[in-house]
Amino acid sequence: MRELRLQQLAAVVAVLALVAAVRPAVCREQQNNGTLEVAAEETRSARATAVIVFGDSIVDPGNNNNLHTQIKANHAPYGKDFDGHLATGRFSNGLVPSDLLAQKLHVKKLVAPWLNVDHTPEDLLTGVSFASGATGYDPLTPKIVSVITLEQQLEYFDEYRDKLVAIAGEEEAERIIDGAFFFVCAGSDDIANTYFTTPFRSVQYDIPSYVDLLLVGVDKFLRSVSARGAKRIGFVGLPPIGCVPSQRTVSGGFHRRCEPKRNYAAQLYNSRVQELIDGMKEELNTRIVYLGIYDIIQELAEDGERWGFTETTHGCCGTGLIEVTNLCDSRFMAVCDDVSKHVFFDSFHPTQRAYKIIVDNMWDTYGHLL
Protein backbone atom coordinates (compact mmCIF):
# COMPACT_ATOMS: atom_id res chain seq x y z
CA MET A 1 0.00 0.00 0.00
CA ARG A 2 2.83 2.41 0.87
CA GLU A 3 4.62 1.71 -2.44
CA LEU A 4 1.39 2.24 -4.34
CA ARG A 5 0.83 5.56 -2.60
CA LEU A 6 4.37 6.71 -3.43
CA GLN A 7 3.82 5.71 -7.08
CA GLN A 8 0.61 7.72 -7.11
CA LEU A 9 2.38 10.74 -5.62
CA ALA A 10 5.15 10.42 -8.20
CA ALA A 11 2.54 10.38 -10.95
CA VAL A 12 0.99 13.54 -9.55
CA VAL A 13 4.38 15.28 -9.56
CA ALA A 14 5.02 14.22 -13.15
CA VAL A 15 1.67 15.57 -14.32
CA LEU A 16 2.24 18.87 -12.54
CA ALA A 17 5.65 19.22 -14.18
CA LEU A 18 4.17 18.51 -17.64
CA VAL A 19 1.41 21.07 -17.20
CA ALA A 20 3.92 23.71 -16.07
CA ALA A 21 6.03 23.07 -19.16
CA VAL A 22 3.10 23.46 -21.57
CA ARG A 23 1.41 26.59 -20.23
CA PRO A 24 1.42 28.90 -17.19
CA ALA A 25 -0.50 27.25 -14.44
CA VAL A 26 -1.97 28.02 -11.11
CA CYS A 27 -0.97 25.62 -8.36
CA ARG A 28 -3.42 25.08 -5.58
CA GLU A 29 -2.20 23.94 -2.22
CA GLN A 30 -4.86 22.70 0.17
CA GLN A 31 -3.83 22.83 3.82
CA ASN A 32 -6.55 22.44 6.48
CA ASN A 33 -7.09 26.19 6.84
CA GLY A 34 -7.99 26.90 3.23
CA THR A 35 -6.70 27.07 -0.33
CA LEU A 36 -3.57 28.92 -1.35
CA GLU A 37 -3.25 30.03 -4.96
CA VAL A 38 0.22 30.65 -6.31
CA ALA A 39 0.55 31.97 -9.86
CA ALA A 40 3.12 30.36 -12.14
CA GLU A 41 4.85 33.72 -12.58
CA GLU A 42 5.38 33.93 -8.81
CA THR A 43 6.72 30.38 -8.74
CA ARG A 44 9.29 31.30 -11.38
CA SER A 45 10.35 34.33 -9.30
CA ALA A 46 10.82 32.26 -6.15
CA ARG A 47 14.13 32.84 -4.42
CA ALA A 48 14.26 29.28 -3.10
CA THR A 49 12.97 25.87 -4.15
CA ALA A 50 11.85 25.09 -0.60
CA VAL A 51 11.95 26.38 2.97
CA ILE A 52 13.27 23.88 5.51
CA VAL A 53 13.03 24.83 9.17
CA PHE A 54 14.77 23.70 12.35
CA GLY A 55 14.34 25.17 15.80
CA ASP A 56 12.03 25.92 18.70
CA SER A 57 8.58 27.38 19.41
CA ILE A 58 9.24 30.53 17.41
CA VAL A 59 9.06 28.42 14.24
CA ASP A 60 7.15 25.32 15.39
CA PRO A 61 3.96 25.09 13.27
CA GLY A 62 2.55 22.15 15.21
CA ASN A 63 5.08 19.36 15.62
CA ASN A 64 4.60 19.39 19.39
CA ASN A 65 0.93 18.51 18.89
CA ASN A 66 2.01 14.91 18.42
CA LEU A 67 4.25 14.67 21.48
CA HIS A 68 3.63 13.71 25.10
CA THR A 69 4.60 17.14 26.40
CA GLN A 70 2.94 20.09 28.11
CA ILE A 71 4.57 22.47 25.61
CA LYS A 72 1.73 22.79 23.11
CA ALA A 73 -0.28 25.51 21.41
CA ASN A 74 -3.01 23.42 19.79
CA HIS A 75 -5.80 24.99 21.82
CA ALA A 76 -7.54 28.35 21.92
CA PRO A 77 -6.72 31.18 22.12
CA TYR A 78 -3.68 30.19 20.01
CA GLY A 79 -4.62 30.57 16.35
CA LYS A 80 -7.23 33.20 17.22
CA ASP A 81 -6.45 35.14 14.03
CA PHE A 82 -5.33 32.23 11.88
CA ASP A 83 -7.55 31.40 8.88
CA GLY A 84 -10.56 29.58 10.27
CA HIS A 85 -9.45 30.47 13.82
CA LEU A 86 -7.56 27.17 13.95
CA ALA A 87 -5.16 26.41 16.78
CA THR A 88 -2.64 24.66 14.53
CA GLY A 89 0.07 24.41 17.16
CA ARG A 90 1.75 27.67 16.23
CA PHE A 91 2.72 29.63 19.34
CA SER A 92 0.98 32.84 18.32
CA ASN A 93 -2.41 34.21 17.37
CA GLY A 94 -1.61 33.60 13.71
CA LEU A 95 1.44 33.05 11.54
CA VAL A 96 4.99 32.54 12.79
CA PRO A 97 8.28 33.79 11.28
CA SER A 98 8.92 30.71 9.13
CA ASP A 99 5.56 31.22 7.39
CA LEU A 100 6.25 34.90 6.82
CA LEU A 101 9.74 34.20 5.49
CA ALA A 102 8.42 31.53 3.11
CA GLN A 103 6.10 34.21 1.73
CA LYS A 104 9.00 36.65 1.36
CA LEU A 105 10.85 34.02 -0.65
CA HIS A 106 7.75 33.43 -2.81
CA VAL A 107 7.75 29.74 -1.93
CA LYS A 108 4.39 29.31 -0.17
CA LYS A 109 2.09 30.77 2.44
CA LEU A 110 2.52 28.21 5.21
CA VAL A 111 5.31 25.85 6.23
CA ALA A 112 3.75 22.58 7.36
CA PRO A 113 4.96 20.57 10.37
CA TRP A 114 6.86 17.39 9.53
CA LEU A 115 4.81 15.36 12.00
CA ASN A 116 1.58 16.30 10.23
CA VAL A 117 0.04 13.09 8.87
CA ASP A 118 -1.78 14.90 6.05
CA HIS A 119 1.12 16.14 3.94
CA THR A 120 0.34 16.94 0.33
CA PRO A 121 2.98 16.46 -2.39
CA GLU A 122 3.28 20.25 -2.53
CA ASP A 123 4.04 20.37 1.20
CA LEU A 124 6.98 18.05 0.75
CA LEU A 125 8.26 19.51 -2.52
CA THR A 126 8.43 23.02 -1.04
CA GLY A 127 9.77 22.18 2.41
CA VAL A 128 8.55 21.50 5.94
CA SER A 129 9.39 22.45 9.51
CA PHE A 130 11.00 20.06 11.97
CA ALA A 131 10.96 22.65 14.77
CA SER A 132 9.79 21.73 18.25
CA GLY A 133 8.76 24.24 20.91
CA ALA A 134 11.15 24.44 23.91
CA THR A 135 14.09 22.65 22.31
CA GLY A 136 17.62 24.04 22.30
CA TYR A 137 21.34 23.56 21.68
CA ASP A 138 21.94 22.37 25.23
CA PRO A 139 21.11 18.61 25.17
CA LEU A 140 19.40 19.02 28.54
CA THR A 141 16.89 21.61 27.33
CA PRO A 142 14.56 19.34 25.29
CA LYS A 143 14.86 16.52 27.81
CA ILE A 144 13.42 18.64 30.63
CA VAL A 145 10.11 19.05 28.78
CA SER A 146 10.11 15.97 26.50
CA VAL A 147 10.31 17.67 23.11
CA ILE A 148 12.24 16.96 19.91
CA THR A 149 15.99 17.41 20.13
CA LEU A 150 17.88 19.14 17.35
CA GLU A 151 19.61 15.84 16.64
CA GLN A 152 16.21 14.21 16.18
CA GLN A 153 15.19 17.06 13.89
CA LEU A 154 18.16 16.19 11.69
CA GLU A 155 17.06 12.56 11.67
CA TYR A 156 13.61 13.69 10.58
CA PHE A 157 15.25 15.64 7.78
CA ASP A 158 16.93 12.44 6.60
CA GLU A 159 13.51 10.76 6.52
CA TYR A 160 12.12 13.76 4.65
CA ARG A 161 14.83 13.53 2.03
CA ASP A 162 14.12 9.84 1.50
CA LYS A 163 10.45 10.63 0.99
CA LEU A 164 11.37 13.44 -1.38
CA VAL A 165 13.41 11.00 -3.47
CA ALA A 166 10.51 8.53 -3.50
CA ILE A 167 8.13 11.23 -4.74
CA ALA A 168 10.26 13.21 -7.16
CA GLY A 169 13.30 11.08 -7.94
CA GLU A 170 16.92 11.45 -6.89
CA GLU A 171 17.83 14.21 -9.34
CA GLU A 172 14.83 16.39 -8.55
CA ALA A 173 15.23 15.84 -4.81
CA GLU A 174 18.85 16.97 -5.05
CA ARG A 175 17.80 20.06 -7.00
CA ILE A 176 15.22 20.93 -4.33
CA ILE A 177 17.70 20.53 -1.47
CA ASP A 178 20.39 22.49 -3.35
CA GLY A 179 18.01 25.40 -3.90
CA ALA A 180 16.32 25.29 -0.52
CA PHE A 181 16.59 27.95 2.15
CA PHE A 182 17.33 26.46 5.57
CA PHE A 183 16.00 28.50 8.49
CA VAL A 184 17.38 27.85 11.98
CA CYS A 185 15.92 29.46 15.10
CA ALA A 186 16.72 28.18 18.62
CA GLY A 187 18.55 29.08 21.81
CA SER A 188 16.05 31.19 23.77
CA ASP A 189 14.84 28.23 25.83
CA ASP A 190 18.40 27.30 26.76
CA ILE A 191 18.92 30.64 28.45
CA ALA A 192 15.41 31.49 29.68
CA ASN A 193 14.48 28.04 30.93
CA THR A 194 17.43 25.69 31.35
CA TYR A 195 19.93 28.22 32.69
CA PHE A 196 17.87 30.78 34.59
CA THR A 197 14.71 28.90 35.58
CA THR A 198 16.07 25.49 36.56
CA PRO A 199 19.09 24.87 38.83
CA PHE A 200 20.72 22.27 36.60
CA ARG A 201 23.15 24.47 34.65
CA SER A 202 23.55 27.65 36.71
CA VAL A 203 25.33 25.70 39.46
CA GLN A 204 27.76 24.27 36.91
CA TYR A 205 28.43 27.26 34.66
CA ASP A 206 28.66 31.01 34.82
CA ILE A 207 27.05 32.83 31.88
CA PRO A 208 30.14 32.97 29.60
CA SER A 209 30.92 29.28 30.09
CA TYR A 210 27.29 28.33 29.46
CA VAL A 211 27.35 30.33 26.24
CA ASP A 212 30.46 28.30 25.32
CA LEU A 213 28.44 25.13 25.88
CA LEU A 214 25.70 26.40 23.57
CA LEU A 215 28.25 27.28 20.91
CA VAL A 216 29.49 23.69 20.89
CA GLY A 217 25.92 22.67 20.07
CA VAL A 218 25.56 25.37 17.42
CA ASP A 219 28.82 24.37 15.74
CA LYS A 220 27.86 20.70 15.64
CA PHE A 221 24.38 21.43 14.36
CA LEU A 222 25.42 23.80 11.57
CA ARG A 223 28.08 21.38 10.36
CA SER A 224 25.50 18.60 10.33
CA VAL A 225 23.04 20.68 8.30
CA SER A 226 25.79 21.64 5.85
CA ALA A 227 26.86 18.01 5.48
CA ARG A 228 23.29 17.15 4.49
CA GLY A 229 23.47 19.41 1.46
CA ALA A 230 22.32 22.81 2.71
CA LYS A 231 23.71 25.60 0.54
CA ARG A 232 21.97 28.52 2.28
CA ILE A 233 21.27 28.80 5.99
CA GLY A 234 19.63 31.72 7.77
CA PHE A 235 20.64 31.53 11.43
CA VAL A 236 18.54 33.58 13.85
CA GLY A 237 20.18 35.23 16.84
CA LEU A 238 18.57 35.61 20.25
CA PRO A 239 16.09 38.31 21.30
CA PRO A 240 16.38 40.40 24.48
CA ILE A 241 15.15 37.51 26.61
CA GLY A 242 14.97 39.64 29.73
CA CYS A 243 12.33 41.85 28.11
CA VAL A 244 9.70 39.20 27.35
CA PRO A 245 6.73 39.37 29.75
CA SER A 246 7.40 36.14 31.67
CA GLN A 247 11.01 37.06 32.37
CA ARG A 248 10.02 40.56 33.49
CA THR A 249 7.55 38.92 35.87
CA VAL A 250 9.89 36.39 37.46
CA SER A 251 13.03 38.55 37.63
CA GLY A 252 12.23 42.16 36.74
CA GLY A 253 11.32 43.31 40.24
CA PHE A 254 8.23 45.19 41.35
CA HIS A 255 8.20 47.37 38.22
CA ARG A 256 8.85 44.37 35.90
CA ARG A 257 11.75 45.97 34.09
CA CYS A 258 13.83 44.16 31.48
CA GLU A 259 16.08 41.74 33.36
CA PRO A 260 19.75 42.58 32.59
CA LYS A 261 21.43 39.21 33.19
CA ARG A 262 19.22 37.45 30.67
CA ASN A 263 19.82 40.20 28.15
CA TYR A 264 23.56 40.04 28.78
CA ALA A 265 23.51 36.30 28.13
CA ALA A 266 21.62 36.83 24.86
CA GLN A 267 23.97 39.59 23.71
CA LEU A 268 27.07 37.57 24.57
CA TYR A 269 25.66 34.57 22.71
CA ASN A 270 24.85 36.71 19.66
CA SER A 271 28.34 38.18 19.57
CA ARG A 272 30.04 34.84 19.97
CA VAL A 273 27.83 33.01 17.48
CA GLN A 274 28.56 35.62 14.82
CA GLU A 275 32.27 34.99 15.33
CA LEU A 276 31.63 31.26 15.05
CA ILE A 277 29.69 31.66 11.80
CA ASP A 278 32.37 33.93 10.33
CA GLY A 279 34.98 31.28 11.10
CA MET A 280 32.93 28.54 9.43
CA LYS A 281 32.56 30.39 6.13
CA GLU A 282 36.01 29.34 4.95
CA GLU A 283 35.45 25.70 5.86
CA LEU A 284 31.96 24.86 4.68
CA ASN A 285 30.43 24.82 1.23
CA THR A 286 27.44 26.64 2.70
CA ARG A 287 26.45 30.28 2.92
CA ILE A 288 25.41 30.95 6.52
CA VAL A 289 23.81 34.33 7.20
CA TYR A 290 23.38 35.55 10.77
CA LEU A 291 19.94 37.13 11.20
CA GLY A 292 19.92 39.57 14.10
CA ILE A 293 16.59 40.21 15.85
CA TYR A 294 17.76 41.60 19.20
CA ASP A 295 17.55 45.30 18.35
CA ILE A 296 14.16 45.28 16.64
CA ILE A 297 12.52 43.27 19.43
CA GLN A 298 14.08 45.53 22.05
CA GLU A 299 12.66 48.53 20.21
CA LEU A 300 9.22 46.92 20.12
CA ALA A 301 9.43 46.10 23.83
CA GLU A 302 10.64 49.54 24.90
CA ASP A 303 9.14 51.88 22.28
CA GLY A 304 6.20 49.97 20.85
CA GLU A 305 4.08 53.09 20.42
CA ARG A 306 6.23 53.94 17.42
CA TRP A 307 4.59 50.99 15.64
CA GLY A 308 1.14 51.54 17.10
CA PHE A 309 1.40 49.12 20.02
CA THR A 310 -0.10 50.22 23.32
CA GLU A 311 0.91 47.18 25.38
CA THR A 312 4.53 46.04 25.32
CA THR A 313 5.15 44.41 28.69
CA HIS A 314 2.16 42.06 29.07
CA GLY A 315 0.96 39.22 26.90
CA CYS A 316 -2.55 39.21 25.46
CA CYS A 317 -3.49 35.97 27.23
CA GLY A 318 -4.94 36.13 30.75
CA THR A 319 -3.07 38.50 33.04
CA GLY A 320 -0.25 38.66 30.49
CA LEU A 321 2.27 38.09 33.28
CA ILE A 322 3.16 34.41 33.06
CA GLU A 323 0.60 32.57 30.89
CA VAL A 324 2.15 30.46 28.12
CA THR A 325 1.42 27.04 26.53
CA ASN A 326 -1.07 25.13 28.73
CA LEU A 327 -1.42 28.12 31.10
CA CYS A 328 -2.74 30.15 28.18
CA ASP A 329 -6.11 28.48 27.64
CA SER A 330 -9.42 30.10 26.70
CA ARG A 331 -11.30 27.65 28.89
CA PHE A 332 -9.86 29.27 31.98
CA MET A 333 -9.05 32.87 31.08
CA ALA A 334 -9.93 35.78 28.84
CA VAL A 335 -7.93 37.22 25.96
CA CYS A 336 -7.29 40.91 25.32
CA ASP A 337 -9.83 42.77 23.18
CA ASP A 338 -7.38 43.97 20.51
CA VAL A 339 -4.45 41.65 19.80
CA SER A 340 -3.01 44.10 17.26
CA LYS A 341 -2.13 46.50 20.08
CA HIS A 342 0.03 43.90 21.86
CA VAL A 343 3.64 43.05 21.06
CA PHE A 344 3.30 39.69 22.82
CA PHE A 345 0.48 37.18 22.50
CA ASP A 346 1.38 35.01 25.48
CA SER A 347 4.07 35.74 28.04
CA PHE A 348 6.89 34.59 25.73
CA HIS A 349 5.83 34.71 22.07
CA PRO A 350 5.06 37.78 19.93
CA THR A 351 1.80 38.39 18.11
CA GLN A 352 1.53 37.87 14.37
CA ARG A 353 1.67 41.64 13.84
CA ALA A 354 4.87 41.91 15.86
CA TYR A 355 6.33 38.91 14.01
CA LYS A 356 5.59 40.63 10.71
CA ILE A 357 7.50 43.73 11.80
CA ILE A 358 10.40 41.53 12.96
CA VAL A 359 10.52 39.56 9.71
CA ASP A 360 10.17 42.72 7.60
CA ASN A 361 13.13 44.20 9.47
CA MET A 362 15.08 40.97 9.02
CA TRP A 363 14.32 40.96 5.30
CA ASP A 364 15.22 44.62 4.81
CA THR A 365 18.50 44.11 6.66
CA TYR A 366 19.63 40.71 5.42
CA GLY A 367 17.41 39.83 2.46
CA HIS A 368 20.07 40.67 -0.12
CA LEU A 369 22.38 38.11 1.51
CA LEU A 370 19.89 35.23 1.55
Tens digit of each residue's pLDDT (9 = 90 or more) over 329-340: 999 999 999 999
Phi, psi of 162 (to 5 degrees): -60, -40
How high is the pLDDT of residue 211?
99
Mind telling me the catalytic residues? 57, 346, 349
The rounded percent of the chain whose pLDDT value lies above 70 is 88
Q: Report pLDDT digits (tens) over 279-298.
A: 998 899 999 999 999 999 99
**pTM of the predicted model, to two decimals?**
0.88
For residue 141, pLDDT beyond 90: yes
For residue 64, pLDDT beyond 50: yes
User: If you average pLDDT over every residue of the chain, what do you get?
Assistant: 90
Return d(Cα 348, Cα 246) in angstroms, integer: 6
Cβ contact 301:343 at 8 Å = yes
Task: Give Cα separations from 324 to 91, 92, 319, 320, 350 (angstroms).
Answer: 9, 10, 11, 9, 11
Return d(Cα 238, Cα 187) in angstroms, integer: 7
The rounded percent of the chain whose pLDDT value lies above 90 is 85
Average pLDDT in the 346-353 region?
A: 99
Cβ contact 194:138 at 8 Å = yes
For residue 317, pLDDT beyond 90: yes
How high is the pLDDT of residue 117?
82
The residue among 109, 108, 152 whose CA lies nearest residue 130 is 152
pLDDT class of 35 with cuts at 50, 70, 90: very low
For residue 2, pLDDT beyond 80: no
How high is the pLDDT of residue 45?
52
How high is the pLDDT of residue 118?
87
In the chain, the domains with their CATH numbers are 2-369 (3.40.50.1110)
CA 111 and chain centroid, separation: 10
* Selected residue with higher pLDDT from 2 and 143: 143
For residue 20, pLDDT beyond 50: no
Cβ-Cβ contacts under 8 Å for 335 (sequence gap 6 or more) = 77, 80, 316, 317, 318
pLDDT class of 17 with cuts at 50, 70, 90: very low
